[in-house]
Amino acid sequence: MNETDPFLSYTLELQEFVGRENFEQNLLQALAHTQVVPHAKAHLFLFYPAEQRSRIFDTEGEVRQGGQPLNEIIDDHAHELPRFQEVVEGADTPAALRMLQTDEEVEASTIFRAVLSPFGLRDVLQIPLLQEESRQSVILGNPETYRAEDLAAAERFRTITAATLRNHYWLTHAEANGRHIAEVRGTSAILPIEEDGQLPSWPQAVATFAERDPIVTPLPPQPPAEILAWVDGHRRHYPLESPDHNRQVFYLDNQQGLPLHTVFLGDRTGQHRLLLYRPVGVPPQFRLTPREVEVLEGLTFGRTNAEIARTLGISPFTARNYVEQILHKLGASNRQEAATLAVGWFREA
């Protein structure tokens, strides 16, 4: 990044808000200040699967459903724009409405007439953020049509923002007695990072992993040099570089055993921490996408397509398509066979 790069300004501004109250609207304000992605209106959508609840933020704070009909209109009429809806529900990259639907289809839709047109908007750009955790997206409205270069900028924005959001939420949960977000369901530990980059709590983490996962490859008695070097790089360069690269998977013992996931939890006060975890999950050889893993988890616990769709905030049709893809990748002939194969890959939340 150079000094004239608007993404540098955005990154610095966003890092200042990590861990503060009103983080969501501050994020949108940073986007408005720097204009890294063109827009006239911006909202942050958060869907909480466990609570079956959505929240919508703008730069003023949470938008109440009674004040603006965004939730109802989008839920009731998204099917009028099926190609855009399918991409929004399944993609992990930015998507623009008018790149997926014709002008005639867009302008005939209830969403255009009731939401976009009254605000003078022509196009919508959906930028997925924490799709693995809570279906978070930034929705940008623009009087002009989004272009390919806008999608490239949106992807860069997504990378920085998603990492910073994850850092924010993990940091918040780390401060609440180690209760992390849903992605971390296996064995985990949070280690303070000292000013010299050392990890004095590593022996406690070794004991925790040995107690909770006695069968898998144990952690080495001392922090591996590659992990210490990775931590030290983040500590020295925080916050300029860490937002793009604050997660890493290490394969210890010469690529043998299970992967060890690490997350650098940066804190603007300098009290950095390291999250170590081994998630319960699907063996990588099946090449399931993150969304397919979520659908398989629901299938494994006996949930119907409709129940899976409600939990993930997608349509039953999309859930059915995911189930068919999963059966093909697992080589299973039916749901029961897939569920039997996946026993032990998941734990109830």
Q: What is the DSSP string of 251-320?
A: -HHHH-S--EEEEEE--TTS--EEEEEE-----GGG---HHHHHHHHHHHTT--HHHHHHHHT--HHHHH
Q: Same domain for 98 and 164? A: yes
Q: What is the pLDDT of residue 200?
A: 96
Q: Does a structural domain hold residue 205?
A: yes
Examine residue 239 and say whether the peptide bond preceding it is cis (omega within 30 degrees of 0): yes
Residues 198, 215: Cα–Cα separation, whole Å: 28
Domain termination residue (choose one: 175, 203, 218): 175
Q: Does a structural domain hold residue 181?
A: no
Q: Does a structural domain hold residue 348?
A: no
Q: Same domain for 192 and 316? A: no
Residues 94, 39: Cα–Cα separation, whole Å: 14
Q: Same domain for 10 and 145? A: yes
Q: Coil, strand, or helix at residue 65?
A: coil
Indicate whether this model's pTM tops 0.95.
Answer: no
Structure-block tokens of residue 330: 């697992």
Residue 322 near residue 292, CB atoms below 8 Å: yes
Q: Same domain for 331 and 251? A: no
Q: What is the pLDDT of residue 349?
A: 39
Residue 256 near residue 217, CB atoms below 8 Å: yes
Domain termination residue (choose one: 262, 278, 294): 278
Q: What is the pLDDT of residue 1?
A: 45
Helical segments of the chain, H only: 6-17, 23-34, 70-77, 82-90, 103-107, 110-111, 148-175, 202-212, 225-237, 252-255, 290-300, 305-312, 316-330, 335-341
Q: Does a structural domain hold residue 180?
A: no
CATH of the domain at 140: 3.30.450.40
Residues 112, 115: Cα–Cα separation, whole Å: 6
What is the domain range of residue 209? Answer: 187-278
Q: What type of residue sits at position 149?
A: E
Using DSSP bridges, classify how beta strands 137-142 and 95-96 pair: parallel, antiparallel or unpaired: unpaired
Q: Does a structural domain hold residue 247?
A: yes
Q: Does a structural domain hold residue 346?
A: no
Q: Which residues make Cβ contacts (< 8 Å) with residue 223, sequence separation at least 6?
A: 198, 199, 202
Smallest CA-to-CA distance from 231 within 269, 273, 267, 268 is with 273
Q: Same domain for 14 and 143? A: yes
Q: Which residues make Cβ contacts (< 8 Å) with residue 39, sequence separation at least 6?
A: 31, 125, 140, 141, 142
Q: Same domain for 144 and 239? A: no
163 to 11, 120, 325: CA distances (angstroms): 11, 32, 28
Q: Same domain for 208 and 62? A: no
Domain termination residue (choose one: 146, 175, 204): 175
Residues 116, 143: Cα–Cα separation, whole Å: 9
Extract the residue ranges of the chain whose pLDDT is less than 50: 1-2, 66-68, 255-256, 349
CATH of the domain at 319: 1.10.10.10
Check the CA dihedral 49-54-58-60 and report its sign.
negative
Q: What is the pLDDT of residue 266?
A: 80
Q: Same domain for 202 and 312? A: no
Q: Same domain for 224 and 146? A: no
The model's pLDDT over 219-270, given as tens digits with 9 standing for 90+, comes to 889 999 999 999 998 888 877 555 556 778 887 765 445 678 888 888 777 8
Residue 234 near residue 258, CB atoms below 8 Å: no
Q: Does a structural domain hold residue 291?
A: yes
Q: Same domain for 220 and 249? A: yes
Q: Same domain for 30 and 149? A: yes
Q: What is the pLDDT of residue 78?
A: 84
3 to 10, 12, 172: CA distances (angstroms): 12, 11, 30
Q: Does a structural domain hold residue 119?
A: yes
Residue 187 near residue 277, CB atoms below 8 Å: yes
In 94-136 the beta strands, taken as DSSP E runs, fall at 95-96, 123-128
The residue to which tokens 């990590």 are assigned: 18
Structure-block tokens of residue 276: 């170590």
Structure-block tokens of residue 326: 């999963």
Overall domain count for the chain: 3
Residue 318 has phi, psi (to 5 degrees) of: -65, -40
Q: Same domain for 239 and 109? A: no
